[in-house]
Amino acid sequence: MIRKIIEINEEKCNGCGLCASACHEGAIGMVNGKAKLLRDDYCDGLGNCLPVCPTGAITFVEREAAAYDEAAVQANTRAREQAAQQPQSACGCPGSQAKTLRSAPSVQPVTAAPAVSQLRQWPVQIKLVPVNAPYFDGAHLLVAADCTAYAYAGFHEDFIRNKITLIGCPKLDEGDYSEKLTEIIRQNNIKSVTVVRMEVPCCGGIEHAVRTALQNSGKFLPWQVVVISTSGERLPG
């Protein structure tokens, strides 16, 4: 039958997983870091996924598609609820899958000097930081996913030192950071930008926001992306 159904542009998808979480029917899943419409008969055509997509990758089309199967959706929902109760179950976003991390015990000499914070300004949340502030003048900007500071042991020394720090979580915060980051870069004398993100797909949102902000600002700045694994290692690349 010909009916209205969603279509996902893979090139625009940043892998944040928000659409998969918003799709209560389970029609959307994450495959190789990209959102995919897994089953036509699970898509009710109401588009709860559209408003949560930060990149506009989801649209409606009219095409030949299987009819919406409410009974199959309900059965799938029950199966997912049962799977969610299992300790090693997967969820819509692969970055949210539960796992236990093991590391060697830390043995610190009693004579070791206490760690010193390298943070140079407050606030640090992208949503809270002002667009114009004196500390942005000549700043080397660090834009980091907030989980990175917990995963990577040397975060202060390796990343925050001598930088102005902005943090956020594209999966939990509403809206897109790119507009505010654009104005911060455009209106201030920023020298460089470093993005630190986790390896999980949803962290692609913060990298995408910075990339968009750099393009929209009209400035050509040196920038780099550093990826941290969920086990706390700095990945090559």
58-69 pLDDT per residue, tens: 998 999 999 999
pLDDT the model gives residue 233 = 93
Residue 214 has pLDDT above 60, yes or no: yes
Task: Find tokens 């929209």 and name the residue.
Answer: 216
At 54, the pLDDT band (50, 70, 90 cuts) reads confident
Which residues are 140's β-sheet partners? 192
* Predicted pLDDT at 185: 97
Average pLDDT score over the chain: 86
Q: Determine the pLDDT at residue 222.
A: 95
- The per-residue pLDDT for range 91-133, each reduced to its tens digit, is 455 555 666 656 555 555 556 677 899 999 999 999 999 999 9
**Residue owning tokens 């830390």:** 106
Place of tokens 């409606």: 60
**180/186 Cα distance (integer angstroms):** 10
Q: What is the mean pLDDT of residues 201-212?
A: 90
How crowded is residue 97: how many other Cβ atoms within 10 Å of its Cβ? 12
What pLDDT is stored for residue 85 in this prediction? 60
Q: Is the pLDDT of residue 226 over 50?
A: yes
pLDDT at 89: 43
Cα angle value 217/143/97 (rounded, 5°): 125
Backbone phi, then psi, for 48, in 5-degree steps? Answer: -60, -20
Task: Judge whether residue 81 has pLDDT over 80.
Answer: no
Of 52 and 104, the one with more pLDDT: 52
CB atoms within 10 A of CB 135: 13
pLDDT of residue 88: 47
Most confident of 111-120, 186-195, 196-205: 186-195
Per-residue pLDDT at 64: 92
